[in-house]
Structure 1
Amino acid sequence: MSGYVGSQIHGCEYKLHLDYMRGRIVNDGIIDGLQEHSRQLGVNEEGLGLELGWNPVLVNRGEEGIYFFNSKMNNWIGHADFGKPFIQEASLVIVKRNVPILGLPDLIINLDSRPTYIVELKTTSNPANLRTIRGREALQCESYFHMMNYLGFKPRGAAIIKVVRGSKFRIIDNIDLIIKHLENGEGSVQLMRYVTIHRIRVREFNDFLRDVDYALEYWLGLRNPKASPNRGLCSFCEHRRYCPYSVAR
């Protein structure tokens, strides 16, 4: 998944490693986030089948990963109708070092029958989180921009919309408002209460590929996962009680 690159570069790669080795802990926040995505984008997230507690990671290095990849290809961007105002959760692919990397941007906004803006949705229960974009979030959104370019679609820009769960705002009901701020080239704007849009600064493609290459070294078994322990990351990590690198037990 292209979003894993951001977690590896700007988060803790060892957490991702433990997700695969031990399983992923699904909490109320993850379930609430999926439900909010469903409401915001008008899509059905129930197919993920996540339940509270321990869950195997959906995309694994084997038959399960192939099944997940093929199922998402049903929404391949090459089959998209760009005459529509927007497309939800289209599938993108870039191949690096013979590894297919899957991207699933939340929303692609079309202008003049061309995919123009990529919008990634991030939900939160804390209004204070609306003000900032984490490095891993920005890299995930940037990855979709570069993947679109790689596939020849040439988007104009990318942005992250942060929403407090349960707010009255709904993305697919406010496409014109979102386009207005993206066309104005603004950086970060409060669209309304509990909703902020952040335009992402996209780096050069080669800079992005360097991050991808580094991330792939782990998946190809060329190096061990790197731990990045700090109290902020560790205190919110589900593996903190048994991770050998944890500083927040």
Structure 2
Amino acid sequence: RVVRTVEEWRNLQAEGLVPRGASVGLVPTMGALHEGHLSLVRLARRDNDLVAASVFVNPKQFAPGEDLEAYPAHGTWGRDLAALEAAGVDFVYAPSAEAMYPRGSGVMTPFVDLVGVDTAGEGASRPGFFRGVATVVSKLLNIVQPTSVYLGQKDGLQCVVVSNLIDDLNFPTRLVIGPTVREPDGLAMSSRNVYLDATQRAIAPAVYAALCKLQDVHGLGERDPEALRSAAAAVVGREPLMTLEYVSLADTADGQELTSRLGGEDALVSI
């Protein structure tokens, strides 16, 4: 069943179609679905009585000049809906931008802004992106009121952001992080991979090779964050058609760049 407005969702709850006490798993998406999204749906289906997926291209997480108008989901609604139904989704929440943001970007428009997320690494390369993500996820959690929300590990800093907002804003929702789903050559599945031409697609797995190199160097005992970043950067640097924006080695708790020698803690690596 497709739901378009907050009122429709509230009516489902009032009518008992989302029974009180039933566990609900939410998989937020922007459409243009691939196996990574569907793997999260399967996790949600395994864990919950009901599964909801959202399909919403969130304008608040696109900076001026980014690909909001060209985003691949604009032509994939029918295919996406069929894939979600086949994977066992009970409800698809697909609101308009007007339904999600009735004030647009005008006076008194509220945002959820996590202090410091835009200051370094991945956050600094996309100023305002994580504010948009935090805002839309907060709204979805408030509207759907899921028991659990499912995100992919590919978007590691996004997972950190959502974990922090769930804790700090007291949402009664569990965050479940599913593993990154990759093509056979290591490229992480992404809706935006369709932008790549044949030459770009052939070299794109260098990003995964760089991640693996950092992991290998760490496994050999290197603990200096800058040395680890440099090892990954060197792999990307061998591809003349690639421009490296950042190698981020960050704290998994707050997303801030690590500067001291690593101990036994996990670290979030993004390239």
**TM-score, with length taken from structure 2:** 0.26
**TM-score, with length taken from structure 1:** 0.27
> Which structure exhibits the higher relative contact order, with contacts defined as CA atoms closer than 8 Å and separated by 6 or more residues?
1
Larger radius of gyration: 2
